Structure 1
């Protein structure tokens, strides 16, 4: 042990390095295309360490694509603006991995469904009216569709959208939700 680097600290650092590598691999190749060997190679560790830390590729995938912690309902409108702005730019590797895998992996589909439901529930709590759940689901689903069209399908009007135009259009669209 040197420099206060205990065995427990090294173990945590290795696990974090593996998780970061998994996010990148799953983001590039999806759940089916990423391998334990490639994740280990990217992390600079032996493949047995990946399994020692995370058990299975599926367990590692679940952790790698897990969304951020839930929001307070008061934070949802501002968060929607941030999410939409972010989805019009580059996607984080964990988001790319989840989206790339959600149609082929039942586990990824469940993670995405739970994430979207949590976002829908939070948004619906900020809305009034008997159809708040449905309107919230439509907003959340629309953001998902925008993300897919821009980053995976490269739909020209969205793929080529400059930052100023996207901000103007986004504010107009989100203003209808207030």
Structure 2
């Protein structure tokens, strides 16, 4: 029984440290967050953070690890991604995007994650065309651009366009990406 209690305490400490790290990295980025500030937020001693994760870089890599969801169809998956990117960002996403241009570790984590997303999307696109990889790469990089424009640059257009309009326009675009269908002329825009 004592081992279960010790294991449970260790697991709870690890969970608190990870949650604190996600918040600190989201607020301050990799460079601004410190082991001491993470420990203080978690309510533990800094040495405990090191015992659990070994280094700030290892903790960062764990804190920004994003879940992969390869079981959804491409269009459904992309719609889910769009909803997340138009809504509030999870702390691990905010931390990774904030830090990717200033930290080699964050840049490598982001590059690996995006390369994996491109590979997964390419495989799930409804297309036998050779352009699936290009569509996957353009889609993944466009969603990253959307994330930066909406949450970090805070473009004014995102404040003026109703969220449901953004979602509908984005969903239509992503359906075209997923199916490989080239958009046809809009009959409402054709001159008589």
1:173 aligns with 2:189: no
Q: Following TM superposition, by how much is the alpha carbon of 1:5 offset from its aligned partner in structure 2, in angstroms?
A: 6.2
Aligned positions of 1:6-155 closer than 5 A: 6-72=5-71, 74-127=72-125, 128=127, 129-155=129-155
User: For 1:110-135, what per-residue CA distance to the aligned partner results, in whole angstroms no more than 9, with x for missing partners?
Assistant: 11111111111111112321121111
Deviates more, 1:150-159 or 1:25-34: 150-159
Structure 1 ranges of 4+ moved more than 4 A: none
Alpha-carbon spacing, 1:159–1:30, altered in 2? closer, same or farther (3 Å): farther
Gaps of at least 5 residues in structure 1 are none
Using structure 1 for the length normalisation, give the TM-score.
Answer: 0.92
Using structure 2 for the length normalisation, give the TM-score.
Answer: 0.86
Larger Rg: 2
User: Are the aligned partners of 1:84 and 1:170 in contact in 2 as well (CA < 8 Å)?
Assistant: yes
Deviates more, 1:126-135 or 1:35-44: 126-135
C-alpha distance in 1, partners of 2:161/2:153?
Answer: 14
Aligned residues: 176
Alpha-carbon spacing, 1:171–1:69, altered in 2? closer, same or farther (3 Å): closer
Alpha-carbon spacing, 1:160–1:23, altered in 2? closer, same or farther (3 Å): farther
